[in-house]
Structure 1
Amino acid sequence: MNNNFPFDQFLKSSETQEKPNLFQETEKKQQPQVVESNEFFSQEELQLIDTEIHNSLKSLVNAQKYNAFFDGALSLSNLTLDTIEFRVPSNLIKSMVQKNMEQIEQSIINALGKEYKVNISVNEQSRTLTSSTSRPSENTPSLVHETKPKSVKDITFTLDLTPTKDDLLSKVESRYIDHMNPEQVGMIIDPAKTFDNFVVGPSNNLANAAAIAISKNPGKDGKYPSLYIHSNSGLGKTHLLHAVANGIKENYPHFVICLITARDFMKEMIDSLKDKKLHEFQKKYSEIVDVLMIDDIHELKNKESTQNEFFHVFNELYNKGKQLIFTSDKAPEEIDGIEERIRTRLQWGLVVDIQKPDLETRIAILKRKAYELDLYLAEDILNLIACHVKNSIRELEGSLVKLSAFSEMMKVDIDTEMVKEILMLKDLDMDKKVTLDQVAKASSQYFKIPVADLKSKARTKDIANARFVAMYLSRKIVNATQEEIGNFYGGRDHSSVVHAEKTISKRLESDIGLSRDVLTIESKL
């Protein structure tokens, strides 16, 4: 054999040819066994699986919820050996869908016979084309043409302007935001805000009564030439201002009414200084105006020049017997940054506060707002909302604005489950349960009368009053039977509890002090 034969090159060549195959085999063994949807499932097959999952989902969630959150919004995008992926059009839809993950997982098991890890992603390009019958891919443009045009005049486009669920939900949220944050550029008397649609309860009956009295007889000839109403935001102060203005307009059409915010009052004064028309500003408020109503008077704090002008305006109008009405989120003595002489004048007239509405008043407010919105809600839904939204009438009404918009946009009726999801309410079972003992202790602490005396046979005026209030609240809040309440308070029969209920209910119609007592005890519970 020729020793010059190139064995090395031959062997090297052979090894080079074999090694790639061995390496490829090893690489195949090491790769995870993943079934890519684009390799093993056609678009038509994915659609069939998607349809099966949706058919199962329809049977697991109520029809209203399915139509609102799933139909046309949740779509299968990928399927592997252990993972299933869905796409939704927005984060808002995603959050709604994820609340029903248990039903989605069960639908997958029903359709595919095994559990999968579920991933839900947001597809930014979620609009579909009206001309397309298949589910669009990620890169599907919103403007397409089917064939390449031969000239400019042959170009045609198909654009789907049908709003998506995300668009509709955004409109729902917009209506709610507009209600909660109304735009205020100046203040025009709103004819829709009257005494007729102001819901009265123990928390606001004094403020309402004073406002009605002023509307019938404003100024020095009336009982309250100066009125100061204060409360937390959203409890009806501004509504009362408009109601008074409408009442005075009806009874005294020749009166000049100025309804303005403290900020606008300040801005008007600053503009008059810049334009060198301060005299006209002073003349308007001291000589022309018959009724001055300033909303959010606390906004004048730390504004020395404006406070000085307000001081002179107040004096002029008060001395002439004109009507003055102010609102604030604080009592006069609680406002920092105002001069003592102004604080004193704000306290010259009647100063009243508006408390948070009790449960019955909240339900009445909801019923009134539902009527205005032409929205039908079952009694249990109204109770559910009233039990959760306690601090603001604006928020209470805003809940119905959101539900009404949702019902209108999604074309669905509202049920209890949807209310909990849309308004994000927790189950009532999670609320604190109030007991007879807690009511007795709260009443005892407020009236400074021992619980033992409330349960005793003593009938002195103070003890009897505290006992009657405790019995009334036990029926109202605890919803205990009259027999249970009677037994708790010293073994009295049910007729004693009935008498206590009727006595307190009747007194609450006219006794402002008692109304405040009951509200204070109830708020502690």
Structure 2
Amino acid sequence: MSVTAQSVWNNCLEFIKDNIQPQAYKTWFEPISAVKLTDNALSIQVPSKFFYEWLEEHYVKILKVSLTKELGETAKLVYIIKMENTYGNKQPFTEKIPSSNRGALKSQDVDVPLNNKSPELRNPFVIPGIRNVKIESQLNPNYSFENFLEGDSNRLARSAGLAVAAKPGGTSFNPLLIFGGVGLGKTHLAHAIGVDIKDKYPEKTVLYISAEKFTQQYIDAVKKNNRNDFIHFYQIIDVLIIDDVQFLSGKTGTQDVFFHIFNHLHQNGKQVVLTSDKAPVDMQDIEQRLLSRFKWGLSAELQNPDFETRVSILKNKLYRDGVEMPEDIIEYVAKNIKTNVRELEGAIISLIAQSSFNKKEITIDLARIIVEKFVKNTKREVSIDYIQKVVSDYFQMDIDTLQSKTRKRHIVQARQLAMFFAKKFTKASLASIGSQIGKRDHATVLHACKTVDNLSSTDKQFRKYVEDITKKLSV
């Protein structure tokens, strides 16, 4: 029987498969293909330089044993790396780098992308100086479906989450976008999906990450000229969970790279779960091509919990903490705190703490004091539209005038104040604030904020404007 590259590699794989974890085999060896066998040298093709470096770093011994078993002590291994440039140019771009010798096993001619010359390991989660083969999921096991109580306000999102966890990548809920206001359980549900998948499918690579951290990793990758390695790392994930995806707003480079990662995962049947504080239709400064992909699957909203759900949440919290509380007090708290789960649980924790520290019995009177303080100290989120209305009314002008192109000093100052307060009281990006206040760019908003700061410290009348409007917005 003739010996071919494929037959040699198949025998090597059989040996490797018996000696490493199934998940590691699937991640690092299944994507490799045998190319040719010449002069006792087996050429294998790997997806990227990241792959080649990971194999050399972590699997060189088992590769050496398996190959020498097949081809003898003079066996050589040649890596061929041809990672397609997915950003327009379909032709692979390569250069030669010197060979490295590892005893009888040698890595010779390695084709690598021209823009990837750094020898560092590319897992963005690897802490420098610590060897970490396994990709940690970053999941919090305390967030589970068991302690995510179902109600009318979250039934669709929770049911979709359970369906995704049962069959990741195999439902029409891909991506699953969970959206809703602050403190309604988006992060909890996202973790619960990941935790459940890890329990059911331990071989799957699940990764939870915030959009903010994803952005920072991408910036670091660009600085180190490791963009392709960054992309490849995310392309090997089976279930990618990105929290607060609205954070990508206005970040065109990060959106572009996420677009390509998303496409690869989706096309290969991998699951994507996203959370956002707003529905796709309300997301500003997110590219249309990305928004269209968010709508491919299911967008499920988490709403403010109704009274019955709020009571159930409080009882569950008390049960988990081993605390007993009279029914009428639980109902009082549930009736008076309606905004979100986080505030609800925060109030009950404050009530328990006050009772313990001051050695007071938990009564309706104590509950009333705590709830009043809690509600009073909870700032409601102010919208940009509301800020424009307050500023316009204060200066006795209409909103159209505030947003106009006129350069009249008092109108310019009113517009700058609106931008200043929008930055202070909302979570919107500078670009989003500018687009909503007269279709200005982010640089104009930044300039407006600096101008307001400067005038507040040098102009007594202007400082009064700031103080008056602050009071109106803080009521």
Identify, as 1 or 2, the structure richer in helix. 1
Q: TM-score, normalised by structure 1?
A: 0.44
